[in-house]
Chain A
Amino acid sequence: MDQALKSYIAICFIAIFCSLSTFTVSFAVSPEEQLSDPILEERARALSQQLRCLVCQNQSIDDSDADLARDLRLEVRTQLQSGKTDSDILESIRSQYGDYVLLKPPVQTSTYLLWVMPVILLLFAALIFWMHRRGQSNTTQHTRSVRDSAEHTLTEDGHISVKPLLVSVTLIVAVSMIAYSQLGRPDLTSLPLANRSAAIEDARLASDARLKMAKETLAAAKENALRMPMSVDAQLRLAMAAAQSNAFVTEQKALAAALELTDGDLSIRAMQAEAISREAGGLVTLPARQILADILEANPDEPRALYLSGLAAFQDENFENALTYWQRLQTLSTDDAPWRTMLSDNIAQAAKAAGIPVDTPSGPDADMLAAAADMSIEDRQEMIAAMVAGLEEKLQDTPDDPAGWERLIQSRRVLNDRDGLMRALSGAANAFPTNPDYQLALLETLLQSETGNLYLTLAEKAVRNLQAIDPDGLEYLFFAGHFANMRGDTDEALSAWLRLQDKLPEDVPFAERLAAQIAALQSQK
């Protein structure tokens, strides 16, 4: 093969190899380590590539499967999530492991030689080259002319010159760099170099705003607590705001003040135990355990204490005890308790660890929900919405399914879908016209939702159903009066409420309010 062609191909290979090296994909980072925020994850990857895996031979922690490397990767991610800057994070790890942990050594007195060496070597090479040329220029004119021609052409006949070689190498490198900056890395295509700084800036602004808001809330709560030193509510609100800003000292002071004001309220004691544990990074510590034991002795049903005791047992890997506490809490909790989902997750985890089978809701719903855990938030919500819609359709065909209706009502409540909730409640009330509970559920929700006249026909129907069940029932009379009033029928409202007043014992607190409303109606007339 022609010598020039050979060199040309070699140079092309080198150029392609160089551009490919920017596309290295590492496999050490496992999916469960990754942050959901792609910008933070990208920063985490970049930082990990700068940190040495200390127990490996010249690998970054991003490439290494070593345990310590994994720990450091997780630490980088935790610190990123707490809003630290890249240089803060590198500095904090360097302060523990020294310069050696940085794959790129810092420029400092002890590393000047290291950094300057390439420049020195380059100058040195240039010097040699220059001396070599000068030495050659002393040789014959003929040599020089040959050398000059060799500089511009690779072959004697001059078909392929140096210029296209240089141009093609530059082009390949330039094209790959532009592709990288515009399209991003194959494993992180969502973040081309070009938009990255803007995206990072946005994320930083958002997290700044969050921090600022938490700070302001805390300051307001502090002021409020100072203004009303005797208010338990103000102290509790301060504790909550402090917890959100990780101001543990303030939180515990506020809780202590609230505790004093309430003369040792058990639920506030439980909050103290929680605050202590939160400060310890989620570990239920000995002092917290002491408090929990005291609380449960006084009131074995204190929900927070039960939850934390379960957590303590879980952390000790005493899974049976954890299960006992948590299952007790589960039987005590109402369906709409906010910790419900977390609790059943925990129970499932503890049961799995202990090797005990527990009754978890089975069937297609449970399976689908388990599948939903792996999806993105949007996909998951879409899927849940589709499931709920399917349930609603099924109930329209086969309305004789009380458990189904209750599930539908609960789902609509959780999804915060008001129209859907009203549809579900009225569907259930229609399906079981003789069951007062369903009528009342609908009416009470209508009463609380302040929706005006929007659902008045639904209410009328339920009120009539109640009347059919018991024409003298207190609930019937109350709602009949309320909805008559709402549609402007003062006479009917008055007659219903006056009948209710007759039946109502005088000492119930509601009687007073009813009397006031009757008086208002009478004055309207």
Chain B
Amino acid sequence: MSTDKPRDSRSRLVFLIPIIAFIGFAAIAGAALLGTLSGTRNSDQLPSVLIGKSAPDLPITPLSEDMAKPLEAFQGQPVLINFMASWCAPCRAELPALALLSEEVAVIAVAYKDKHQDTATFLETYGNPYQAVWMDYDGAVGRSYGLYGVPETYLIDGNGKIILRHAGPVFRDVIDTIIRPALAKLSEAE
């Protein structure tokens, strides 16, 4: 056999193409992996498909009669819907920041898959920054908002449209970098 006869340069080039293609793919996958690891590429923070659409209905059962303000009562002003639960630790952690925020914008809570008594005790113990609290016993309302888990917060504009979804607790940095800018943009638009 005379396969040791040198090939021409074009054949050598052809041989290189798969390797170059492989390196290209590896680069793309690597960048995606790095993004995932560093948190800049996070499937939890995908923009909600509901943005720009009307906010789905809130649950029908309020925590109590004085916490029974419906979404329509906030027409003409922005409102934050905060999905929370007494069984969720970050929900407790975000309460002080929410209390701070409640001085600038109305915040209402949807207790996601929580028990009535547990929500009541939770808010009595750690303070209640909400203007209304609605009970989403089976999580159906959460799913209609495309909820991944609690806590999650949605900003609704004066026309009842969803402007923003934030997954995870609302801490002060979130207020400064995400929520206040969005609120400012809303008041500017008016």
Chain A residues whose CB sits within 8 angstroms of the CB of B115 once the complex forms: 317
Known contacts A71-B143, A96-B145, A143-B2, A132 near B14 by CB under 8 Å: yes
In the complex, are the beta carbons of A286 and B2 less than 8 A apart? no
Known contacts A143-B3, A283-B61, A131 near B10 by CB under 8 Å: yes
Task: Mark out the residues of chain A between 252 and 307 whose CB falls within 8 Å of any chain B CB in the assembled complex.
Answer: 280-281, 283, 285-286
Give A142's nearest chain B residue, CB to CB.
B2
Report if A470 contacts B (CB, 8 A): no
Known contacts A98-B49, A140-B2, A285-B61, A68 near B14 by CB under 8 Å: no
In the complex, are the beta carbons of A128 and B5 less than 8 A apart? no
How distant is A149 from chain B, measured CB to nearest CB, in Å?
11
Report if A316 contacts B (CB, 8 A): yes
How distant is A240 from chain B, measured CB to nearest CB, in Å?
23
Task: Mark out the residues of chain A between 123 and 149 whose CB falls within 8 Å of any chain B CB in the assembled complex.
Answer: 124, 128, 131-132, 135-136, 138-140, 142-143, 146
Known contacts A72-B143, A317-B116, A135 near B148 by CB under 8 Å: no
Chain B residues whose CB sits within 8 angstroms of the CB of A124 once the complex forms: 21
In the complex, are the beta carbons of B60 and A280 less than 8 A apart? yes
In the complex, are the beta carbons of B10 and A97 less than 8 A apart? no
Report if B18 contacts A (CB, 8 A): yes
In the complex, are the beta carbons of A75 and B3 less than 8 A apart? no
Q: Convert A33-63 into 0s and 1s, putting 1 for each residue whose CB lies closer than 8 angstroms to a CB of B.
A: 0000000000000000000001100000000
Report if A95 contacts B (CB, 8 A): yes
Among B2, B8, B18, B49, max chain A CB count under 10 A is at B49
How distant is A64 from chain B, measured CB to nearest CB, in Å?
13
Known contacts A97-B146, A135-B14, A143-B3, A54 near B43 by CB under 8 Å: yes
How distant is B31 from chain A, measured CB to nearest CB, in Å?
16
Chain B residues whose CB sits within 8 angstroms of the CB of A139 once the complex forms: 2-3, 5, 7
Chain A residues whose CB sits within 8 angstroms of the CB of B46 once the complex forms: 98, 100
Chain B residues whose CB sits within 8 angstroms of the CB of A55 once the complex forms: 44, 148-149
Give B145's nearest chain A residue, CB to CB.
A96
Report if B50 contacts A (CB, 8 A): yes
In the complex, are the beta carbons of B1 and A142 less than 8 A apart? yes
In the complex, are the beta carbons of A135 and B11 less than 8 A apart? yes
Give B118's nearest chain A residue, CB to CB.
A317
How distant is A96 from chain B, measured CB to nearest CB, in Å?
4
Known contacts A54-B148, A97-B146, A139-B5, A316 near B116 by CB under 8 Å: yes
A376 to B5, CA, bound (A): 76
In the complex, are the beta carbons of A128 and B18 less than 8 A apart? yes
How distant is A173 from chain B, measured CB to nearest CB, in Å?
27
In the complex, are the beta carbons of B8 and A135 less than 8 A apart? yes
Report if B186 contacts A (CB, 8 A): no
Chain A residues whose CB sits within 8 angstroms of the CB of B48 once the complex forms: 98
Q: Convert B119-157 into 0s and 1s, putting 1 for each residue whose CB lies closer than 8 angstroms to a CB of A.
A: 000000000000000000101100111101100000000
Known contacts A98-B46, A128-B14, A146-B1, A75 near B61 by CB under 8 Å: no
Known contacts A98-B146, A132-B11, A143-B1, A281 near B140 by CB under 8 Å: yes
Report if B72 contacts A (CB, 8 A): no
Interface size, A (range): 20 to 34
Give B3's nearest chain A residue, CB to CB.
A143
A317 to B114, CA, bound (A): 12
Chain B residues whose CB sits within 8 angstroms of the CB of A95 once the complex forms: 49
A135 to B14, CA, bound (A): 10
How distant is B133 from chain A, measured CB to nearest CB, in Å?
13
Report if B71 contacts A (CB, 8 A): no
In the complex, are the beta carbons of A96 and B18 less than 8 A apart? no
Task: Mark out the residues of chain A between 62 and 121 whose CB falls within 8 Å of any chain B CB in the assembled complex.
Answer: 67-68, 71-72, 75, 94-100
Report if B62 contacts A (CB, 8 A): yes
In the complex, are the beta carbons of B139 and A71 less than 8 A apart? yes
How distant is A349 from chain B, measured CB to nearest CB, in Å?
16
Chain B residues whose CB sits within 8 angstroms of the CB of A94 once the complex forms: 49
In the complex, are the beta carbons of A68 and B146 less than 8 A apart? no
In the complex, are the beta carbons of B65 and A286 less than 8 A apart? yes
Give B116's nearest chain A residue, CB to CB.
A316
In the complex, are the beta carbons of A283 and B143 less than 8 A apart? no
Give A136's nearest chain B residue, CB to CB.
B11
A100 to B45, CA, bound (A): 12
Report if B38 contacts A (CB, 8 A): no
A72 to B2, CA, bound (A): 64
Give B53's nearest chain A residue, CB to CB.
A95
Chain A residues whose CB sits within 8 angstroms of the CB of B139 once the complex forms: 71
* Of B3, B14, B43, the contact of A131 (CB 8 Å cutoff): B14
In the complex, are the beta carbons of B60 and A283 less than 8 A apart? yes
Chain B residues whose CB sits within 8 angstroms of the CB of A136 once the complex forms: 11
Chain A residues whose CB sits within 8 angstroms of the CB of B10 once the complex forms: 131, 135
A30 to B14, CA, bound (A): 53
In the complex, are the beta carbons of B14 and A100 less than 8 A apart? no
A71 to B112, CA, bound (A): 12
Q: Convert B85-108 into 0s and 1s, putting 1 for each residue whose CB lies closer than 8 angstroms to a CB of A.
A: 000000000000000000000000
Task: Mark out the residues of chain B between 10 and 48 whose CB falls within 8 Å of any chain A CB in the assembled complex.
Answer: 10-11, 14-15, 17-18, 21, 43-44, 46, 48
* Of B5, B11, B43, B144, the contact of A96 (CB 8 Å cutoff): B144
A142 to B2, CA, bound (A): 8
In the complex, 26 of the A-B residue pairs with CB atoms within 8 angstroms, ordered by the A residue number, are A55-B44, A67-B113, A67-B149, A68-B148, A94-B49, A96-B143, A96-B146, A98-B49, A98-B146, A99-B49, A124-B21, A128-B18, A131-B11, A135-B7, A135-B10, A135-B14, A136-B11, A139-B3, A139-B5, A140-B2, A142-B1, A146-B1, A280-B60, A283-B61, A286-B65, A316-B116
